[in-house]
Structure 1
């Protein structure tokens, strides 16, 4: 059984997200599944994503974490958000052609941030469960109408995306699956 979740952007027929779009041949083509603590994505990168011989480029580790955290926010909070800060810590190099799991979580929401920033965290783990990298980030939610001039979406795509963002799902506000 395929548990893959459809991100709201997937309603746009030709979206090109570097992280998660199946329409971007140069991208990572990440897919997402529920995790008891939030959202996860399995990752295996080949030589096209190499820095030092046999090692995944460190910048891509940040991209992967950002992608899983950002999509968790979209799925749990039902709002798109731009990344405004991100800090990634590398504990051990990720190796090419090896399997990893990125898990993103949202902290319990005790009270809203005064700035509206949504905090998230992610870990990339190897097949033994050892943490190889961690990342924390802050995301600024936005209304589609407010950033419409920055996005290459026509009216139909905006309507599709707005409808997809309002669709119910099984994530709580803190991203934990119910």
Structure 2
């Protein structure tokens, strides 16, 4: 089932990661999945680092977007990233099909989240862990 963000209909929503109105952005969309949230993506050479390889910073954005938006879906409020660690264990190729899967554990003041980037065969090619600070109202 497609997950809808609370601000998705706003005309001032221009998020680099998930706004369909940001032509330079990733335009990610999210689906409920496996006790979490997922985003499927296939990136072109505009997001390239080495020839044919997606830039690692873009993969970090995808993980952060998926984890952060999972928190929005669960808590109903935005959450600010306080720390994040990426681990790259495989190559993400330009033009390849991938999926980011995020899960989160809500603590009293912070939310701890994890994400995996999976290739089309289901192999993990990247992981992220992060901590988020929920905000009491919409930004």
2:6 and 2:13 map into 1 onto residues whose CA distance is: 11
How many correspondences in the alignment? Answer: 139
The structure richer in strand per residue is 2
- TM-score after normalising by structure 2: 0.95
Which of 113, 119, 133 aligns to 1:120? It is: 113
Unaligned runs of 5+ in 1: 146-150, 152-178
C-alpha RMSD of matched pairs (Å): 1.3
Matches within 5 A, 1:93-132: 93-107=91-105, 109=106, 112-113=107-108, 116-132=109-125
Unaligned stretches of 5+ in structure 2? none
In the alignment, which residue of structure 2 is the partner of 1:7?
5
1 or 2 for the larger relative contact order (CA 8 Å, sep ≥6)? Answer: 1
Structure 1 runs of 4+ with >3 Å offset: none
TM-score normalised by the chain length of structure 1? 0.75
1:93-143 Cα deviation digits (max 9, x unpaired):
200000001000013x5xx34xx1110000000011000000000001112
Higher helix share: 1
